[in-house]
């Protein structure tokens, strides 16, 4: 009787183990199916991204990738790093990124984002062209159909760019322009993910500085070198912050799975950004 009891107990245990293993296998199979379906969806969405969106997002990659970092997950899931190329941000990152925008740049909505753009671009006009924004507007004039944004920074930068026979005249301003191309990309694209602005507004607000700075660079390496120099000259970031950025920039330049490897610096500025 005792031996019979133990045999029955053993059989019951083995049967339970087998059932548990089968359930785990079924769950694993379901997860793989779901992962493959998600990978197909994200690859399809990646294929639909415009060159403008990819380039604008990648300009801010040294900052964005600290939080987004989709390449490692994409490699594991055998897909393209959609969230590293799109203005969309995974929902798991949104709250954290909103907090850092508020903490680091005092941006919490469309109005405060517009203020940061206006303040910094006014400084860019002054530092790059040696005159105030008001003087630039007065010298170049504004068209009757210009809106409020045109009457300030975008209009001024666009008109002043047209006066430059060769973009290389701005070579001494490469660190400044790279720094704020990256920061504006980060601010604008994260703000779009948070719903503060839409994609068209991102292109409109960034087109002036991007079209001004783009001719000065011929590769991500060139851009990254100027950006790092700009961080040093600016001096507003902390040592810890610059350390994180430098590590991420090194990764972008050296790791084959990084979005900068996947999408080299374009030969021509995407049309939507060159509209200025």
Of the candidates 272, 258, 273, the residue with the CA atom closest to the CA atom of residue 64: 258
pLDDT tens for each residue of 166-194: 544 677 888 988 999 999 999 999 999 99
Residues 240, 119 within the same domain = yes
Q: Residue 49 and residue 70: Cα distance in Å, rounded? A: 16
Q: Mark whether 33 and 62 lie in a shared domain.
A: no
Query: Taken in order 258, 261, 265, 271, is the CA torsion positive or negative?
Result: negative
Which residues, in sequence order, are CB contacts of 258 under 8 Å at separation 6+? 71, 251, 252
pLDDT at position 90, please? 86
User: Are 240 and 259 part of one and the same domain?
Assistant: yes
Q: Are residues 11 and 133 in the same domain?
A: no
Same domain, 17 and 100: no
Same domain, yes or no: 111 and 197:
yes
Mean pLDDT rounded to a whole number for the chain = 80
Number of structural domains, the chain? Answer: 2
For 88-99, the pLDDT digits (tens) are 988 888 899 999
Are 82 and 191 found together in one domain? Answer: yes
Is the Cβ–Cβ distance between 273 and 210 less than 8 Å?
yes
Give the Cβ contact number of residue 126 at 10 Å. Answer: 14
Domain coverage including residue 215:
51-274
Q: pLDDT tens, 202-251?
A: 998 898 889 888 989 999 999 999 999 998 888 777 788 888 889 999 99
> Is 20 in the same domain as 135?
no
Spatial separation of the C-alpha atoms in residues 263 and 211, rounded to whole Å:
19
Encode pLDDT of 123-170 as tens digits. 777 766 666 656 655 554 444 444 444 444 555 555 555 544 454 467
254 vs 262: CA distance, rounded Å: 12
User: What pLDDT was estimated at residue 66?
Assistant: 87
pTM here is 0.77
């Amino acid at each position: 009787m005792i031996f019979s009891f133990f045999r029955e107990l053993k059989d019951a245990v083995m049967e339970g183990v087998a059932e548990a293993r089968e359930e785990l296998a079924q769950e694993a199979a379901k997860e793989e199916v779901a992962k493959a379906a998600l990978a197909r969806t994200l690859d399809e969405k990646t294929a639909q991204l415009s060159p403008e969106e990819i380039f604008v997002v990648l300009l801010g990659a040294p900052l964005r990738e600290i939080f987004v970092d989709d390449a490692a997950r994409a490699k594991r899931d055998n897909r393209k790093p959609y969230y590293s190329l799109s203005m969309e941000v995974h929902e798991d990152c949104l709250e954290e990124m909103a907090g850092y925008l508020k903490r680091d740049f005092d941006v919490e909505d469309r109005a405060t984002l517009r203020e940061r753009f206006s303040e910094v671009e006014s400084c860019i006009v002054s530092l790059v062209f040696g005159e105030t924004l008001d003087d630039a507007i007065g010298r170049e004039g504004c068209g009757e159909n210009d809106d409020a944004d045109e009457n300030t920074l975008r209009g001024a930068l666009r008109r002043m760019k047209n006066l430059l026979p060769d973009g290389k005249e701005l070579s001494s301003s490469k660190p400044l322009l790279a720094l704020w191309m990256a920061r504006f990309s980060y601010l604008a694209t994260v703000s779009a993910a948070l719903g503060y602005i839409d994609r068209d507004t991102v292109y409109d607000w960034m087109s002036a500085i991007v079209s001004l700075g783009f001719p000065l660079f011929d590769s991500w390496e060139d851009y990254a070198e100027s950006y790092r120099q700009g961080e040093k000259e600016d001096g507003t970031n902390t040592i810890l912050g610059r350390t994180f950025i430098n590590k991420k920039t090194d990764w972008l330049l050296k790791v084959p799975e990084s979005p900068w490897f996947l999408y080299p610096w374009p030969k021509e500025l995407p049309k939507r950004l060159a509209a200025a």
